[in-house]
Amino acid sequence: MNKFDLSSDIAVDVVNAVPSLAAAARRRRMHHRHAKRRLTQVLVAASVVFASAAMLTPKSTERVPLRVTADKVSSLPVEPSWRRAGEVLNRKPGLATSLPFAMDPREIARRESLSRWHRIYGYSSKYRISPDLSRKIFDEAMRAGIEPELAFRLVRVESVFNPRALSPVGAMGLTQLMLGTARHFQPGVTPEQLLDAETNLRIGFKYLRGLIRESRGNLRLALLTYNRGPVAVQNALKLGLDPANGYELVVMRGYRGRGTLD
């Protein structure tokens, strides 16, 4: 071959650069073996984990073989092939099987705490108040059995979230309580104590919860009694008049709850 013949050299280089079909097939087989090996390792690891969990599970339901003689057959209880609907639910606590992967109580408490703070920050953002005030309203509402959404609505309408709000007629604090009403639930409470946020919320929500109970779940009537007082509402009802003054519409606009948690 002539050394100056460049076309033949280029052709040889191009042929050498293109991979052969046999080499490509070998690479495919090699990748297939690697993938099969990885899958086998994963399956072995999974089987080890499940076998370990099964060994740690308490064998409280281990069966003991029962030997019955002919003279004892008549004394054995006869088990029916079917059960009534109520018998399946009426199980004894000792027969309940414990789950081998039950959640850690500390994990449950952590999740409940995260859920609580998530709702607190949600109300803080919705009503544009501080997280600390949102926490106080939320916690006191839960203790009193009042739905937090209703509690926030009530405080917004009554005092616009001002802990030291005072009305011309003498109502005080976040829930605008009269001193006489507050002393009915906490005898001896002072005006300065009633301006404390947590004290005011605790008494106010307890008062609202009692009104909802007395009105037999009639949330509209309970809110009107909270705003106008029980005497004015009862007098209007006795005269056949509607005691509504628009207060309940402002508080309940868009609200679909029952008012209480139970």
In this structure, the number of other CB atoms found within 10 A of the CB of residue 92 comes to 6
Backbone angles phi, psi at 56, to 5 degrees: -80, -15
So what's the pLDDT on residue 21?
77
Give the whole-angstrom CA distance, residue 197 versus residue 212: 22
Residue 22 placed within a domain: no
Residue 65 placed within a domain: no
So what's the pLDDT on residue 80?
53
Residue 90 placed within a domain: no
So what's the pLDDT on residue 53?
61
Tokens of 230: 């029980």
Please count the structural domains in the chain.
1
CB 203 within 8 A of CB 158: no
HSE-CB at 133 with a 13 A cutoff on CA atoms is 22
So what's the pLDDT on residue 248?
95
CB 250 within 8 A of CB 158: no
Model-level pTM greater than 0.85? no
Distances (CA, A) of 30 to 14, 24, 25, 206: 26, 10, 9, 75
Give the whole-angstrom CA distance, residue 229 versus residue 222: 10
pLDDT (tens digit, 9 = 90+) per residue, 77-131?
555 555 555 554 555 554 444 555 567 888 999 999 999 999 999 999 999 999 9
So what's the pLDDT on residue 86?
53
Tokens of 235: 């007098």
Residue segments in the chain with a per-residue pLDDT below the cut of 50: 1-4, 6, 10-12, 14, 17, 60-62, 64, 68, 73, 76, 88, 94-97
So what's the pLDDT on residue 6?
47
Tokens of 89: 């639910």
So what's the pLDDT on residue 41?
79
So what's the pLDDT on residue 14?
47
Residue 24 placed within a domain: no
Residue 31 placed within a domain: no
Q: What residue numbers bound the domain in which 130 lies?
A: 109-252
Give the whole-angstrom CA distance, residue 211 versus residue 228: 12
Question: What letter represents residue 87's amino acid?
Answer: E
Distances (CA, A) of 122 to 127, 159, 239, 250: 9, 20, 44, 21
HSE-CB at 112 with a 13 A cutoff on CA atoms is 7
CATH number at residue 221: 1.10.530.10
Give the whole-angstrom CA distance, residue 182 versus residue 202: 10
CB 167 within 8 A of CB 157: no
Bridge partners (DSSP) of residue 166 are 172
HSE-CB at 189 with a 13 A cutoff on CA atoms is 21
Identify the three-state secondary structure at position 97: coil
